[in-house]
Amino acid sequence: MDGVSGPEGYPGWYPYAILAVMWACGIGLAWFSNQHPCTSVTVGKDGVVEGRATFPFRVVRRKFCLEELIPLQLIEDQYEDGGALHELQLPVPIIPGHPLVLAAGTRERCLTEKATFLAALEQCERGPRDSQG
């Protein structure tokens, strides 16, 4: 017999149905990943703060003024089992509907990232001459 045949006792369309389900799952995962970017923030030595949202097929960059970035927002979500997830977000999004998340995880980790980010901003505001002397 030519072509694809299903396992013994299954109809001939069975392998095609499995293939269709796999394709549907792949398309669904591609759509999902295209809706949820990975975000990052870079603080340059020259004081330029750049946010970046990375999607599977594109990257969106945006530069921010220092005044836009304060205050940082610490958001807490509760799970049904009583656990908590914290997110440290900048008050401005890169793209509408996609918050710029600096850190996610425990409260301590978010507060540590907040301190690191604020120290980097403070270093930029002082400039290289003030930090040497």
Average pLDDT of the chain is 79
What pLDDT, on the 0 to 100 scale, is given for residue 131? Answer: 42
Cβ atoms of 27 and 38 closer than 8 Å: no
pLDDT digit string (tens) for the chain, length 133 residues: 456 666 778 787 888 899 999 999 999 998 888 888 887 888 777 777 888 888 888 888 888 877 777 788 888 887 777 777 888 888 777 777 777 888 888 888 888 888 888 887 777 666 554 444 4
Cβ atoms of 34 and 56 closer than 8 Å: yes
| The model scores a pTM over 0.75 | no
What number of CA atoms fall less than 13 Å from residue 98's CA on the CB side?
18
pLDDT tens-digit profile of 47-79? 778 888 888 888 888 888 777 777 888 888 877
How many CB atoms neighbour CB 50 within 10 A? 14
Instruction: Assess whether the previous peptide bond of 93 is cis (omega < 30° from 0).
Output: no
Pairwise CA distance, residues 46 & 38, whole Å: 24
